[in-house]
Amino acid sequence: MANDSVERVHVLIIGSGPAGYTAAIYAARANMKPVLYQGIQPGGQLTITTEVENYPGYPEGIQGPEMMVHFEKQAARMGADIRYGLATKVDFSQQPYKVWIDEEKLIEADSVIISTGASAKWLGLPSEERLNGYGVSACAVCDGFFFKGKEVAIVGAGDTAAEEALYLSKLCTTVHMIVRRDKMRASKVMQDRVTSTPNIKVYWNSETDEILGEKKVEAVRIKNTGTNEKTEIPVSAFFVAIGHQPNSDIFKEYITMDETGYIQTIPGTSKTNVEGVFAAGDVQDKTYRQAVTAAGSGCMAALDAERYLSAKGIA
């Protein structure tokens, strides 16, 4: 489809995790006729999560992909127009805002909700990919509970890694923390907490060589960067805490972000520096990064968009 078929919409939602789908539910109920493009990973990070036990309303827990199907169905039932497609370019210099889908279809939108999420950074080991969901995880708060009373490993050296190691230390017998250098990047207070927690064992100057196990994580093999000596540590889970990358590149020219690419919103709102453009979920939240907080911010974005369009006399 070429550019000559320009489509005009009131609310364009970019991304389809808990934030995007919740925004779609609220926007559709407000009769704003939202159009949502699902992006490269329909359902977002939850589609690579197995059991979700900490989302309210699911007393037995639920599989991440199934939960996202529920979100999508609910948004569709409310009247949201949900489509496959990836936003590849934007122009927020004037209204209506222009968004290109798959480099060819052009949408003109009176308001835009960005809910493109963030992607966990991985080490890049084939075993890490193979065992993802079978003991390998990028979220200790999401998955730590399943390894209660067991030994686990975590790799990372920043505040998030320290925080997740401390969280795991309350659930697991031993937390083996793998740190690449001879010191951590984490703040002094977090480092002190880690080093004074008796069941966190820190391996300095160490890299992950391989995650071992056929069908589930059984051990991790680490290599000392100074001596090249390899050590196998029996563990039931391997947590990767080396950071997240917000999926915000295409908005850089127009939207204010922090140094790592997280979109900055006006505190207490979903508003960005561009009037009529809102951000929700993990693309603007580097602190909590939970499904429930993403959904909450999706609700905020839809309500903010509704008030904005109403004030403009558009919807």
Q: Counting Cβ atoms within 10 Å, is residue 18 exposed (0-12), middle (13-18) or buried (19+)?
A: buried
**Residue of 42, 56, 90 lying closest to 279 (CA atoms):** 90
Q: Are 41 and 136 in contact (CB under 8 A)?
A: no
Q: What is the length of the chain?
A: 315
The single residue of 81, 91, 139, 159 carrying the catalytic annotation is 139
201 SS3 class = strand
Using CA atoms, how far apart are residues 135 and 152, in angstroms rounded to an integer? 9
Retrieve residue 299's tokens: 């609700």
Retrieve residue 217's tokens: 């994580």
Q: Are 286 and 274 in contact (CB under 8 A)?
A: no
List 210's β-bridge partners, or say none: 221
**Residue of 260, 249, 302, 258 lying closest to 279 (CA atoms):** 302
The single residue of 142, 172, 285, 304 carrying the catalytic annotation is 142
Using CA atoms, how far apart are residues 279 and 116, in angstroms rounded to an integer? 9
Q: Tell me if residue 172 is catalytic.
A: no
Q: Tell me if residue 139 is catalytic.
A: yes
**Which pairing describes strands 219-224 and 206-212: parallel, antiparallel, or unpaired?**
antiparallel
The single residue of 143, 282, 285, 304 carrying the catalytic annotation is 143
79: which residues sit within 8 A by CB, 6+ positions away?
28, 29, 33
Q: Is the dihedral of CA 23, 29, 33, 36 positive or negative?
A: positive
Q: Tell me if residue 142 is catalytic.
A: yes
Catalytic residues: 139, 142-143
